[in-house]
C-alpha cells in the first residue's frame, strides 16, 4: 500500500490512534495534515515523528462548523488537494442517566455529538466537495464497538458512534458514483492515554480478559486497518465497518 505524494487529513492527530494513523500514512509516502484542537505542542511532536516531507498542522474546534470549513479549505490551499480524510477526533464523557440532572443531560449530548458526529459530518461534507471536483477520494471513520454493544455509562458517546456508522454507510451509497469510497473502523479498547485511566481502575483486568488475546488493541493495529480501507484496491469495501476488538465483542 503506497500513498506517494497523496494528501491525507487526519483529525485528532496529536496523540493516540490519530498519531499512529498519521505515522502509518507518512511511512507509505503520504503528506499528512495533522488536525488538533488545543494541543499544539503534541501536534508538533507528532509532526516531528513523521517520515518524509510536506506535513502540516491545522487547528480547528470540530464543534464549530465554520472552523471545520476553514480548516479543510486551509489544508487544500496548502497541500493542493485532499485525497483521504480520516475522521478520528472524538471525545468520551460518562454521564449515567440516574446520576444526571436534566440540565446536565441536555448539555451533554450536544457537546459529545458536536465533535464526534456533527464535526465528522461537516469535515466529510467539506472534503467530499473537493474530492468530487478532483475525481475521487477516500474517507475513513474511526468508530467504536460501543456503537453496537451500547455504552450505558457514556450514552452520548455510543449514540455518536452509531450515528457515525450510519453516516458512513449512507454516504458510501451516495458518493460511490463520484469515486469517493468510505470505510469505518470500529475498535474496542485501545492502548491510548484516553483508555489508560480506565484500564488502571480495579476492573482493568476484566477489560483485558474481554478479548481471548488477553489484551487491548495497540494503536498501530487500528492504523493498519485505516490505511487498508483508504488504499487503492479496497474500493469494494466501501460502506464496510471493520471490527478491531480482538473478538471481545462479536456481532452477527
Name the helix (H) or strand (E) containing 217: none
**Exposed/middle/buried for residue 82 (C-beta within 10 Å: 0-12, 13-18, 19+):** buried
- Residues constituting the chain: 252
Q: Residue 232: its pLDDT value, please?
A: 96
Cα–Cα distance for residue pair 89/87, rounded to 1 Å: 6
Q: Residue 91: its pLDDT value, please?
A: 95
Q: Residue 252: its pLDDT value, please?
A: 83
What mean pLDDT value characterizes the chain?
96
pLDDT, mean of residues 98-116: 98
pLDDT, mean of residues 132-156: 97
Q: Whole-prediction pTM value? A: 0.96
Q: Residue 199: its pLDDT value, please?
A: 83
Position 244 pLDDT exceeds 90: yes
Residue ranges and CATH numbers for the domains of the chain are 7-190+218-244 (3.40.50.720)
| Annotated catalytic residue within 36, 108, 130, 157 | 157
Cα–Cα distance for residue pair 88/238, rounded to 1 Å: 18
Provide the 3-class DSSP secondary structure of residue 59.
strand
Percent of residues, the chain, with pLDDT higher than 90: 93
36 catalytic per annotation: no
Percent of residues, the chain, with pLDDT higher than 70: 100
| Cβ neighbour number for residue 129 with a 10 Å cutoff | 13
- R_g (Cα) of the chain, nearest Å: 17
- Match 451516495 to its residue by C-alpha cell: 174
Provide the 3-class DSSP secondary structure of residue 86.
strand
Position 17 pLDDT exceeds 90: yes
Higher model confidence: residue 193 or residue 130? 130
Q: Residue 204: its pLDDT value, please?
A: 87
Burial code of 214-234, b = ≥16 C-beta within 10 A, e = fewer? eebbebebbbbbbbbbbbeeb
Q: Confidence class of residue 200 from pLDDT cuts 50, 70 and 90?
A: confident
Q: Residue 63: its pLDDT value, please?
A: 98
Q: Is the dihedral angle over the CA atoms 41, 45, 50, 53 positive or is it negative?
A: positive
Provide the 3-class DSSP secondary structure of residue 36.
strand
Cα–Cα distance for residue pair 126/73, rounded to 1 Å: 8
**Exposed/middle/buried for residue 4 (C-beta within 10 Å: 0-12, 13-18, 19+):** exposed
Taking only the tens place, the pLDDT of each residue in 151-187 is: 999 999 999 999 999 999 999 999 999 999 999 999 9
Residue 182: strand pairing partners = 139
Position 250 pLDDT exceeds 80: yes
Q: Residue 154: its pLDDT value, please?
A: 97
Q: Can you list the positions of beta strands (E) in the chain?
A: 7-10, 31-36, 56-59, 84-87, 137-142, 180-187, 241-244
Amino acid at each position: 500500500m503506497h500513498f506517494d505524494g497523496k494528501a491525507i487529513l487526519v483529525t485528532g492527530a496529536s496523540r493516540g490512534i490519530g498519531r499512529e494513523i498519521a505515522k502509518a500514512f507518512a511511512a507509505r509516502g503520504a503528506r499528512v495534515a495533522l488536525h488538533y484542537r488545543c494541543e499544539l505542542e503534541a501536534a508538533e511532536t507528532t509532526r516531528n515523528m513523521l517520515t518524509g516531507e510536506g506535513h502540516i498542522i491545522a487547528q480547528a474546534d470540530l464543534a464549530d462548523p465554520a472552523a471545520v470549513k476553514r480548516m479543510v479549505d486551509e489544508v487544500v490551499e496548502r497541500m493542493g488537494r485532499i485525497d483521504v480524510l480520516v475522521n478520528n477526533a472524538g471525545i468520551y464523557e460518562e454521564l449515567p442517566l440516574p446520576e444526571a440532572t436534566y440540565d446536565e443531560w441536555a448539555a451533554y449530548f450536544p457537546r459529545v455529538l458536536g465533535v464526534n458526529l456533527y464535526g465528522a459530518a461537516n469535515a466529510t461534507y467539506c472534503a467530499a466537495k473537493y474530492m468530487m471536483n478532483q475525481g475521487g477520494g477516500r474517507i475513513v471513520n474511526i468508530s467504536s464497538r460501543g456503537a453496537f454493544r451500547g455504552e450505558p455509562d457514556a450514552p452520548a458517546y455510543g449514540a455518536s458512534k452509531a450515528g457515525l456508522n450510519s453516516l458512513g454507510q449512507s454516504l458510501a451509497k451516495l458518493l460511490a458514483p463520484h469515486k469517493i469510497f468510505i470505510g469505518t473502523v470500529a475498535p474496542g479498547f485501545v492502548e491510548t492515554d484516553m483508555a489508560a485511566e480506565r484500564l488502571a481502575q480495579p476492573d482493568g483486568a476484566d477489560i483485558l480478559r474481554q478479548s481471548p488475546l488477553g489484551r487491548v488493541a495497540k494503536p498501530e493495529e487500528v492504523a493498519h486497518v485505516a490505511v487498508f480501507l483508504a488504499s487503492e484496491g479496497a474500493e469494494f469495501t466501501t460502506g464496510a465497518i471493520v471490527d478491531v476488538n480482538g473478538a471481545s465483542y462479536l456481532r452477527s
